[in-house]
Amino acid sequence: MIKQELTTSFYLADLNELNSEEIELIEDAKIALDSAYSPYSGFSVGASVLLNDGKKIRGNNQENVAYPSGLCAERVALFYVGAQFPNHKIKTIAITALSKSFEIEDYISPCGACRQVMAEYEEKQDSKIRILLHSPNNKVLIADSVEDLLPFIFKSPFLKKY
């Protein structure tokens, strides 16, 4: 048996340390919180995706009483991009959250399903997606790629049949 180690890297920053484009993207994700539909959990998530041509696409979580029929904010935004802008590349995604029942003090990280979808888009577009995880205290965790959040990505060219 051989022990192996895996490292990942990310940045921690204050909101005011980001460039204006990243700050605007986080503000856009915060706006997306306003139309989140989360009557069951009271936990709203907003996402904003920046495309290579400067377009911004918002998404937010959409719950459903017939759980798990709802969808996370990240996938709402990413699937919209895939459906409406299939030839655009995703540069950055910003994610933020707000809870009606408790104070969020840390970064909210995407669930495994959302990380896997982001990984698929990175592979599809053959370029990294920058990820900005915003906390309500204006701290930001920055990852340069989905692999920094999901080191053992499920992907295989053998699964694709043409």
* Cβ 42 vs Cβ 28: under 8 Å: no
Q: Active-site positions? A: 74
* Cβ 25 vs Cβ 50: under 8 Å: yes
Nearest to 82 by CA among 154, 74, 104: 74
Q: Length of the chain, please?
A: 162
* Cβ 73 vs Cβ 45: under 8 Å: yes
- Backbone phi, psi, residue 92, to 5°: -145, 150
